[in-house]
Amino acid sequence: MKKPIALVIMDGVGRGDGGSGDAVKLAKTPTLDRLLAQCPHTWLKAHGTAVGLPTDDDMGNSEVGHNALGCGQVYSQGAKLVGESIESGVIYQSKAWQELSANAKQDGKALHFLGLLSDGNVHSNISHLIALLRQAHAEGLRRVYCHILLDGRDVPATSALEYVDQLETVLAELSKDGADYKIASGGGRMQITMDRYEANWAMVEAGWNTHVHGKARAFASAKEAIEAYRAELGCIDQDLPAFVVERNGEPVAKIANGDSVILFNFRGDRAQEISLAFDRKEFDKFDRGDYTGVKFAGMLQYDGDLKIPENYLVEPPVIKNTLTEVLCAHSVQEYALSETQKYGHVTYFWNGNRSGKVNDDLEVYEEIPSDVIPFEQAPAMKSVEITDHMVEAMASGRFGFLRCNYPNGDMVGHTGVMDAVITAMECVDAGLKRLVEAADKYGYTLLVTADHGNADQMTETKKGKTSVRTAHSLNPVPFIIYDPDQHFEIKDGNYGLANVAPTIVKMMGFEAPECWEESMV
């Protein structure tokens, strides 16, 4: 190694069109602008087939993005895995499906599906839910209920009714023979159930009280709930409050002790906490009331090492030969840093869905606790603290490879509040400036990239109407090499995120595994 390497991941920062919806371009980012003007750089594909998703219509996300960045290879990921399992029928042969189906056939028992209702293909896909519903009906299940989390984040911000209408059509069809297939409860994904990294257990508790205890405002239908909340509060789908669907003055269905429950999300980060609430006998994050247990399964196992959950329908990809494994084999000291919102991405997902470290003696992980506050209200997030810790780690001279993630472009980008996203990008640029200075002072090669786009496309126009966009973009992301002391030339090629790890290894002078993609230098 001629120099140690520091990698900066600007989460959610792609190359936009430079127009009025491109917060990256609208922000004052003199450091990023200078690096792009003066340094070797290229643009990486960060969505679709480049990160293991089914088609190039599928937007990338932080999980598959960090998998690809950290392993140098392209693996079939959540949506594709589940789709293949459903198409082949293997999912229905799984032990978990058969046990939950059999349990729900018993008198008085029900099968409940819980998850994000959209076709965003980031956390879930409504087509998977519909396929499972049809299979449940084919197997003779009579009482089946859906607890729906509204998206507006990976899909258009106010598209919930499209998915509700689609689901209601299927449920009505399956209920024609006297079976009871209904939507039972729901709410916006940023209000209930789908917290991650234990940042806000109150969200999960609110979801629990909604789905399990039926404690939320009651409506005659999900459609009525959505329309009423929009009229009263003016909020987008992800922020809609919890609701319960009732008939005859009572909830259509509550998740009762002994029932079967399937969490049909395939992505792990926002599935783990609610899984723990259902899955663990010992649980102290909130009061579950008179809960004694259900038959529970996830679409995938969201954390294999921690067995979250114990039962699952589809086997996750086994990612081998990660960058961390390669560097540990060469005794390279590593440092990984982010705040809570993206800490799991630079550790668990980076290391191929592995909890814990490859080598305790060679790796240091550092998490800065995120504030529990709407991101648009504090768009700087923990960018200053991340920069402080990163500079301190660089100054120590201890590490041969460092990586950090600034979550701002993604987390603030998801709010749809343009002014806040512009501020967020300016905060990231301020951190980047200090890291460039640290690289000069302490002798590092600095690499700058992203895991997917978001802040670069904050509006979208359909049928002549422009609206706020809160989803990830399909735009490419930068890969920049900053090192005034060494000349690196990026070869011509069509590169994706999986080409980053091979490039790092080559810059360090090590041999890459044969299964990896090619280096860019």
* Triad 292, 293, 297: Cα angle to 5°: 170
Distance CA 114, CA 123 (A): 12
Q: What is the largest CA-CA distance in the chain?
A: 75
Distance CA 7, CA 18 (A): 25
pLDDT tens digits, 201-220: 999 999 999 999 999 999 99
Q: Mean pLDDT across the stretch 468-472?
A: 90
Give Cβ neighbours of residue 310 (< 8 Å, ≥ 6 apart). 279, 296
Query: Can you read off the two tokens belonging to residue 123?
Result: 């956390």
pLDDT tens digits, 401-452: 999 999 999 999 999 999 999 999 999 999 999 999 999 999 999 999 999 9
Distance CA 225, CA 217 (A): 9
Among 50-64, 186-200, 332-346, the least confident range? 50-64
Q: Mean pLDDT across the stretch 254-267?
A: 97
Residue numbers annotated as active site? 62
Percent residues over pLDDT 70 in the chain: 99
**What's the pLDDT at 304?**
64
The answer to whether the CB of 379 falls within 8 A of the CB of 12 is no
pLDDT tens digits, 307-352: 899 999 997 677 999 999 999 999 999 999 999 999 999 999 999 9
**What's the pLDDT at 94?**
96
Distance CA 467, CA 63 (A): 27
CB atoms within 10 A of CB 1: 13
CB atoms within 10 A of CB 387: 23
436-466: b (≥16 Cβ within 10 Å) or e = bebbeebebbbbbbbbbbbbbbbebeeeeee
Q: Mean pLDDT across the stretch 454-475?
A: 91
Distance CA 69, CA 346 (A): 10
**What's the pLDDT at 117?**
98
Q: Mean pLDDT across the stretch 65-71?
A: 97
* CA 510 to the chain's CA centroid: 31
Decide if pLDDT at 303 tops 80: no
Measuring CA to CA, how many Å separate 252 from each of 7, 249, 265, 353, 471?
51, 9, 22, 38, 32
Decide if pLDDT at 1 tops 70: no
Q: What is the pTM of this model?
A: 0.77
Structural domains in the chain, CATH included, are: 5-76+333-346+362-508 (3.40.720.10), 79-314 (3.40.1450.10)
Distance CA 468, CA 407 (A): 20
Distance CA 209, CA 229 (A): 19
459 confidence band (pLDDT: 50, 70, 90): very high
Decide if pLDDT at 387 tops 80: yes
pLDDT tens digits, 114-134: 999 999 998 999 999 999 999
Decide if pLDDT at 305 tops 70: no
197 confidence band (pLDDT: 50, 70, 90): confident
Distance CA 379, CA 416 (A): 12
CB atoms within 10 A of CB 376: 19
Decide if pLDDT at 88 tops 70: yes
Is the bond into 309 cis (omega within 30 degrees of 0)?
Answer: yes
Q: Which residue has the tokens 């049809």?
A: 134
18 confidence band (pLDDT: 50, 70, 90): very high
Averaged pLDDT score across all residues of the chain: 95
Decide if pLDDT at 521 tops 90: yes
